[in-house]
Amino acid sequence: MKRILVTGAAGQIGSELIVALRQRYGGNNVIACGHRTMPDRKILDSGPFESFDVRDSSAVTDVVSKYEVDIIYHLAGILSATGEAKPQLAWDININGLSNVLETARQHGCAVFFPSSIASFGPSTPQVNTPQETIQRPQSIYGISKVSGELLCDYYYHRFGVDSRGLRFPGLISYETLPGGGTTDYAVEIFYAALRGKKYTSFLQKGTRLDMMYMPDAIRAAIAVMEADPGRLIIRNAFNITAMSFAPEDLCAEIQKFIPDFTMDYKVDPVRQAIADSWPNNMDDSAARMQWGWQPEYDLPAMTKDMIEKLSCKLGR
């Protein structure tokens, strides 16, 4: 059985990916790794946990040697809005952390999963049906770290044969763990407001369409791309994947089908609005569909229904 290490264990993706990987590969074969923020008890009680900073190269190597790791899901990173507040920190964690992981993978023969993002595109990228291969000149430090990360992963594949694979995630929506410091966070916050009987104030303006995905689809995609037949992969870093594309008012209208009294207004945050305006409206994910069978299960209505059901239980509503 493969041994898998996941950095960013307490994060939005990590906290759910670890549970799914442990169900599939066995609790003791999936090593959760965090730093500063501790993951919840579900993670701590179901398999090994190690605490280290991904910027510490010897700590990364020690853990990979200790557990004889085969695959590293490197999820630790700073998101777009926090990145604009702390650009040097974002570069340090996102790039030096990835570089340490790739170098360790080269030395120990590990495969690497890297989460890229719609943020790897910029204002000169075609925004509608954004192609897999296109102009990538992002203006946020997060986006710059993502496009650099894609290239670094490709470099380690071509130069050293490291089996690196990645996905360009859209905004991710989940009921388990809140996102931290992203531009698409509104699409999660809005559900908490609606279920608590409050009005929501959107920090993105009306008409801001972005690609989005429900977390169960994102988790399936991350596992599927790492299990894909390498012979079918023409691209590696990183596949466009999407499930739905909407603007704040579309999500509000969908929630109102379940909670008719819910209301939303707007107070635009210029930093996050500028970031969102530079991202695609909807990506073309045909390469992922053709090369490893990507197929989302949740569209906007299905995601909204499930979010409301699951979050209602969680919040005791």
Q: Which residues are tagged catalytic?
A: 142
Q: How far is the CB of 269 from ligand AKB (least distance, A)?
A: 12
> Binding of ligand AKB at residue 80 (CB under 6 A)?
yes
Q: How far is the CB of 179 from ligand AKB (least distance, A)?
A: 6
Q: Which of 130, 184, 245, 304 binds ligand AKB (CB under 6 A)?
A: 184
> Binding of ligand AKB at residue 278 (CB under 6 A)?
no
| Residue least distant from ligand AKB (Cβ) | 182
> What backbone torsions phi and psi does residue 104 show, to the nearest 5 degrees?
-65, -40
Q: How far is the CB of 71 from ligand AKB (least distance, A)?
A: 22
Q: How far apart are the first and last CA of the chain?
A: 41
> Binding of ligand AKB at residue 94 (CB under 6 A)?
no
Applying CB under 6 A, the span of 101-109, 117-125, 217-225, 240-248 interacting with ligand AKB comes to 117-125
The answer to whether residues 166 and 116 touch, using CB atoms and an 8 Å cutoff, is: yes
* SS3 label, residue 72: strand
| Residue pointed to by tokens 């997060």 | 142
Q: Which of 32, 79, 162, 303 binds ligand AKB (CB under 6 A)?
A: 79
Interface of this chain with ligand AKB, residues 142 to 181, rule: CB under 6 A: 142, 169, 171-172, 179
Three-state SS annotation for 137-175: CCCCHHHHHHHHHHHHHHHHHHHHCCCEEEEEECEEECC
> Binding of ligand AKB at residue 183 (CB under 6 A)?
yes
Q: Which two tokens stand for residue 293?
A: 């069978």
Residue number with CB closer to ligand AKB (79 or 244): 79
> Whole-angstrom Cα distance, residue 35 to residue 183?
23
Q: Which of 15, 94, 104, 117 binds ligand AKB (CB under 6 A)?
A: 117
> Binding of ligand AKB at residue 237 (CB under 6 A)?
no
Query: How many of the chain's residues bind ligand AKB (CB under 6 A)?
Result: 13
Ramachandran quadrant class, 272 (left: phi over 0; alpha: psi -120 to 50; beta: rest): alpha
Residues whose CB falls within 8 Å of the CB of residue 149, separated by 6 or more in sequence, listed in order: 94, 95, 98, 114, 116, 166, 237
Contact residues for ligand AKB (CB under 6 A)?
79-80, 117-119, 142, 169, 171-172, 179, 182-184
